[in-house]
Chains A and B, each alone.
Chain A
């Protein structure tokens, strides 16, 4: 073959190969065009998943072990509870239980289950499943196990009736049941995968890995896929009949910080973001994004621990009250959340039982100085503040503590600031104690008892221990415990009064000093409707629709 002919054949071959390559690559280029958004929206799939950008803090997907904000979203939408919380965040709504009643002294509660309720596999939700789920919740001894504290027995007299008997009156038990962790699990399916509700379930239950990849609830959604540190994917439960589920597939996309969440929202890559701080929210300029600030029940507080080993002076009630008067509450709300937050008087969120009429916290430097003089500390003292180095509910705790440092400097209290990793902070606060710290709290359900059981200076509560109650009798306020018993035994109409009295006692203790209740920024695409903040469940997914 002549050289010229060979070149012609070669170039033909090259041309043919190129054409073939282009033909083969055509779908790839078309896909690239689609992926890059060059194709019109109409050409792309209409029924696309709804994306929620949020920092996933999931520690488990087992309803008896899970404990976090994203976990609330997951559990509440997959494992239906007996009672729900209405849009006003106060009213109890029927869910698995169509009705319920309690005896006069609030020690026995009877629930009547919806006979039409079914799990995602189509099998009926029965009383035995509820009994099993609650017993397992208690016996697993996991994060939410305290929800079943004080429950003496759970009976299932028939397939659709559950009777729970308490060890002592507990008028808040119905409220507790709105917490998603109490949702019903399909016991047959769970048992087949290693779960059990025996007394030794903490040792013998081996089902957690199964729960991380599967679900067995009766809620509006089922678990489609979970990739830790990447995404949590829900699919609509085809057997769910209680309400019409608007979105067939929902993806929670792990997006660590507020700025990235806002950018995803603006770019259209996400539809909802709930962890954007007010300052970042102001940078969102897109016309297609709706931003709503709603009051939350979350709050950030400083805690003063008289029993901490690092104290340089005795933090008596007078000194603690002086610290309380020295703080600039309004300034803190402005400084930390650009005014997008509320003041909170007591360690019980605004709007919860007993909080009506509580005195608004105010700064009074003269009063603070007077109290310090009286305590013999007119020249001030030094105090070390250790706190988790984190941004929570839009509040940067480092910034918050700098404000506290400035405020206390006005009454000659010199605050040393030491930010710590959360796990290290936890070890310190349980160990030698921390003289001054800042942390946060979010509700698990609508009810005030949870706050008293956590913050009150009654024997055994977490903050009583942290404040040094075990070593210093002056810290204990037994009155708060007595009032709580009365509140839990009181009829609905009377319990607020007791909670109000406890709140006043806690304000007077000045161990827990709430600084700000930050608003929740609900940022979402305008085409998305039904996004709301829920006190028990964070974000009810079945109420969301898309235009």
Chain B
């Protein structure tokens, strides 16, 4: 297994180089001019100002030159400097990634817990009211676009009922805790600021539920289908015949086996949410990677676009690897070659 993991890890830089090259070409072949967001519209016809800005940001060099410089810097861990924030893209990403990870982790918790529970319940009460209800919830969750459900739930629970907070990681007037991990829930505890801890949890509820709902839909349907397969197996009959309680049969005997295909989806969902939380981050004013990516794309901030692409690509590659490894732990029959 270790050889397999090492082989996969060795292949990762090559795959990343491919991702970087394609992303570099695509971003630089767009017809827009990034200088407009750097120097503003007023000076865009001033050749002296244009020349100075091009030279400063290395845009006066040929595309192959820019590519070689970028890849060379990348090898030293330098992701370049953002046109917009004027600081290193790596630093930008380190500041934003925790916000996204905090949201995605909370969403995955909501999605997995509810998804697995609903899937088990639906399978156990097959074709009965509980099953129909669980399937309906799953259908709605996986069908509704996140931007729509996000806006509606925000309107209902924040704007109309005022029982959940406004968009953002904290209340608009609050100050973020000192940066330690970038997770406000952790940093606030480290700082001993329980008010901010509570606020950060409070603000996580709605976006995590919206994102988690979408994941829950997929997971519960998959768990239900797998559980139905497993529940028909002879060993389940044997467990019941031995007198095992129904919860024990469901959780210990059936669910463990039913979870194997679900793991793949959980892994993919995590990577998908990290790279795909764009809309929900915009709707919930969540200053994470998604929000950063949108702004980077709008302003043609080449280094930032490349940085987000690299992180997204790495997230996909790593989650694929982790999922494959997790298979082996869940199902000992699986061996790697």
Contacts and interface: CB of A to CB of B under 8 A. Distances in A.
Contacts of A145: 43, 49
A471 B202 CA distance: 62
A203 interface: yes
Contacts of B85: 212, 228
Contacts of B173: 48-49, 51, 251, 269
- Sort chain A's interface into a size bin: 35 or more
Interface in A211-238: 212, 225, 227-230, 233
A68 interface: yes
A496 B16 CA distance: 63
A427 B171 contact: no
Interface stretch (B65-73, B159-167, B265-273): B159-167
B322 interface: no
A145 B52 CA distance: 12
B86 A209 contact: yes
A424 B282 contact: no
Nearest to B32: A423
B56 A202 contact: yes
Contacts of B159: 263, 266-267
Nearest to B82: A228
Interface stretch (B34-42, B127-135, B219-227): B34-42
B298 interface: yes
Interface in B149-206: 158-159, 162-168, 171-173, 175-176, 194-199, 201-202
Interface in B73-102: 84-87, 92, 95
A264 B159 CA distance: 8
B285 interface: yes
Interface string A263-278: 1101101100000000
A428 B31 CA distance: 8
- Sort chain B's interface into a size bin: 35 or more
Contacts, number: 153
Interface stretch (B7-15, B114-122, B232-240, B287-295): B287-295
A203 B56 contact: yes
B42 A146 contact: yes
A367 interface: no
Contact of A426 (B44, B56, B298): B44
A30 B199 CA distance: 11
Contact of B202 (A35, A233, A254): A35
Interface in B22-50: 30-34, 36-46, 48-49
B172 A270 contact: yes
B43 A254 contact: no
A59 interface: yes
A41 to B, nearest CB: 12
A59 B201 contact: no
A209 B81 CA distance: 10
A256 B285 CA distance: 8
A260 interface: yes
Contacts of B291: 229
B20 interface: no
B84 A430 contact: no
A243 interface: no
A338 B56 CA distance: 44
Interface in B291-318: 291-292, 295, 298-300
Given A31-B195, A423-B300, A426-B32, A264 B172 contact: yes
Interface string A246-289: 00000101111000100110110110000000000000000000
Interface in A454-473: 454, 462, 465-466
Contacts of B334: none
Contacts of A263: 158-159, 166
Contact of A424 (B30, B52, B84, B164): B30
Nearest to A57: B37
Contact of B45 (A34, A444, A462): A462
Given A228-B84, A270-B172, A462-B44, A423 B299 contact: yes
B285 A35 contact: no
A267 B166 contact: yes
A123 B261 CA distance: 67
A253 B168 contact: yes
A269 B154 CA distance: 14
Nearest to A424: B32
Interface in A87-102: none
B26 to A, nearest CB: 15
B55 interface: yes
A32 interface: yes
Interface in A306-325: none
Contacts of B287: 227, 229-230, 254
Contacts of A357: none
Given A35-B165, A212-B86, A426 B40 contact: no
Interface of B: 30-34, 36-46, 48-49, 52-53, 55-56, 84-87, 92, 95, 158-159, 162-168, 171-173, 175-176, 194-199, 201-202, 282, 285, 287, 291-292, 295, 298-300
Given A142-B39, A426-B41, 9 more contacts: A27-B195, A59-B40, A202-B56, A209-B87, A228-B84, A230-B287, A255-B285, A423-B34, A430-B44
7 contacts: A51-B173, A65-B39, A203-B52, A212-B87, A269-B171, A421-B32, A454-B42
Please name the 5 residue pairs, one residue from A and one from B, whose CB atoms are nearest each other, closest first: A423-B32, A31-B198, A67-B40, A230-B287, A141-B52
